[in-house]
Amino acid sequence: MTNFKQLNLIQPIEHALKDAGYQVPTEIQQNTIPLVLQGKDVLGCAQTGTGKTAAFAIPILQKLHATSKASGIRALVLTPTRELALQIEESFNDYGKYLKIPCLAIFGGVPQGKQVATLKRGVNVLIATPGRLLDLHQQGFVKLGGIEVLVLDEADHMLDLGFVNDVKKILTKIPAKRQTLFFSATMPATIRKFAHSILHQPAEVSVTPVSSVAQTVRQSVFFVEKKEKTELLIQLLSNKVISRTLVFTRTKHGADKLVRQLAKSGIHAAAIHGNKSQNARQKALNDFKSNRINILVATDIAARGIDIDELPHVVNYELPNVPETYVHRIGRTGRAGKDGIAVSFCDLEQRSELGDIQKLIGFNIPVKNKMEDFRQAVNL
């Protein structure tokens, strides 16, 4: 098995990876890092949880360190959500902790003052959501003429959110001669066509197809009436063996309502979704990561940026209506070889969604009786 030493990484990065507890590169890292270091364009099909951020952040840091050119923005990472932008910034800072390569995440929904002040001090790696980037560029705070590497991360999600025109505008403002890395969790014809319009003879890397679920995730489903779901969830979360848990709802309103219902039963939880202020979302995430709260209730879009190494439990309070989303949701647990548990609630109206999910993953999810011992239900 390849280790990080065999990828010809410089000592400061190796040292930082060791500090972070990384021992062996994931498949996407093993395949992508050498290609990026060789200067090739990359078309990567990889979902969240495969170690994709490190696959582009590590070689970008190494390349920038090797050529100490003039200051200014030399690498640009475009990403669809604020949470993801912050997560990527954190990763660049972790892997580059022994290098002097300033990084910054910029995104909307917060005052621009702090972001502008940091830009003025000088940044080499800029991680941005498209709207805020265009806004600050138009105001003259962001100069894009020195970009050497462009990364489009979660491209399918970016296009789903309607950012395609913003991305096209940004492409007209950066040098045509550059290295481009394009990552998407899914690769339908529209995404592939768009990718090939901006990539130059790309090397293709594909890992963990969207239909596959890590072997380390133990799945189960409860058939339960809609009105009984909250009571079932309270019983489940009241079990002392249940630790940190991410609960998925379909709607923002549903997430808030569920947090209120849990509070009435003495269960402290926080909601994270698009209607929350950036500060509220960040506080909820930080509290969850540091175990100040054990229950986080999230909608799918808000959860795309949640990257937590040790997350033992995921609960689908409501099944998603897109089968691939189920794979994304439960892919948040059982990472890096650790065991994970995914419990889904299915009411009568959602039986067809369950059928579509089982068809996609090629597996009949074991059914649990809601009256049976909950310790057994979560396989603990």
pLDDT tens, position by position, 98-124: 998 999 999 998 999 999 999 999 999
H or E segment to which residue 287 belongs: helix 278-289
Contacts of 168 (CB under 8 A, 6+ apart): none
If asked whether residues 56 and 199 sit together in one domain, one would say yes
Domain final position from 181, 206, 231: 206
Report the distance separating Cα 307 and Cα 287, nearest Å: 14
Beta strands in the chain (DSSP E): 42-45, 75-78, 103-106, 125-128, 149-152, 179-184, 203-206, 217-223, 245-248, 269-272, 295-298, 313-316, 340-346, 367-368
58 or 83, higher pLDDT = 58
If asked whether residues 155 and 44 sit together in one domain, one would say yes
Local structure of residue 6 (DSSP, 8 states): G
Domain final position from 162, 181, 206: 206
Is 211 within the bounds of a domain?
no
If asked whether residues 143 and 247 sit together in one domain, one would say no
Say whether pLDDT at 229 is over 60. Answer: yes
If asked whether residues 202 and 247 sit together in one domain, one would say no
Angle at 26 between CA 219 and CA 243, to 5 degrees: 40
376 or 354, higher pLDDT = 354
pLDDT of residue 87: 85
Count CB-CB contacts under 10 A for residue 90: 15
Give the pairing type, strands 217-223 and 340-346. parallel
Is 183 within the bounds of a domain?
yes
Strand partners, 341: 218, 313
Say whether pLDDT at 34 is over 60. Answer: yes
Q: What is the mean pLDDT of residues 201-216?
A: 77
154 or 333, higher pLDDT = 154
Q: What is the mean pLDDT of residues 73-90?
A: 91
Report the distance separating Cα 162 and Cα 202, nearest Å: 25
pLDDT in tens, 264-279: 999 999 998 767 776 7
pLDDT of residue 369: 73
**Confidence category of residue 232, pLDDT binned at 50, 70, 90:** very high
Is 286 within the bounds of a domain?
yes
Is 288 within the bounds of a domain?
yes
pLDDT of residue 67: 85
Is residue 148 within 8 Å of 178, Cβ to Cβ?
A: yes
If asked whether residues 193 and 240 sit together in one domain, one would say no
User: What is the value of pTM for the model shown?
Assistant: 0.65
If asked whether residues 190 and 286 sit together in one domain, one would say no
Q: Domain holding 172: CATH number? A: 3.40.50.300
**Confidence category of residue 301, pLDDT binned at 50, 70, 90:** low
Number of structural domains the chain divides into: 2
Local structure of residue 332 (DSSP, 8 states): T
CA terminus-to-terminus distance, the chain? 31
Say whether pLDDT at 360 is over 80. Answer: yes
Q: How many CA atoms lie within 13 A of 206 on its CB side?
A: 8
151 or 250, higher pLDDT = 151
If asked whether residues 40 and 112 sit together in one domain, one would say yes
Look up the domain containing 286 and give its range: 217-377
Q: What is the mean pLDDT of residues 216-236?
A: 90
If asked whether residues 56 and 99 sit together in one domain, one would say yes
**Confidence category of residue 380, pLDDT binned at 50, 70, 90:** very low
Is 271 within the bounds of a domain?
yes
Domain final position from 146, 180, 206: 206
Contacts of 310 (CB under 8 A, 6+ apart): 244, 338
Q: Strands across the sheet with 149-152, in order?
A: 103-106, 125-128, 75-78, 149-152, 179-184, 42-45, 203-206
pLDDT of residue 373: 47
Report the distance separating Cα 347 and Cα 205, nearest Å: 39
If asked whether residues 201 and 262 sit together in one domain, one would say no
Is 357 within the bounds of a domain?
yes
Q: What is the mean pLDDT of residues 173-202?
A: 92
How high does pLDDT run on average in the chain?
Answer: 87
% of the chain residues with pLDDT over 70: 89
Is residue 205 within 8 Å of 25, Cβ to Cβ?
A: no
If asked whether residues 224 and 121 sit together in one domain, one would say no
Is 157 within the bounds of a domain?
yes
pLDDT in tens, 237-254: 887 777 789 999 988 889
If asked whether residues 107 and 221 sit together in one domain, one would say no
The residue assigned the tokens 């990084």 is: 103
Helix ranges restricted to H, 73-188: 82-95, 113-121, 130-138, 155-160, 164-173
pLDDT of residue 328: 78
- With the C-alpha atoms ordered 42, 46, 52, 53, is the resulting torsion angle positive or negative? positive
Say whether pLDDT at 379 is over 80. Answer: no
Is 303 within the bounds of a domain?
yes
Say whether pLDDT at 133 is over 80. Answer: yes
If asked whether residues 316 and 224 sit together in one domain, one would say yes
Say whether pLDDT at 139 is over 70. Answer: yes
Nearest of 129, 128, 125, 187 to residue 163 by alpha carbon: 129
Measure CA 103 to chain center: 18
Residue type, 54: A
Is residue 317 within 8 Å of 354, Cβ to Cβ?
A: no
Say whether pLDDT at 15 is over 80. Answer: yes
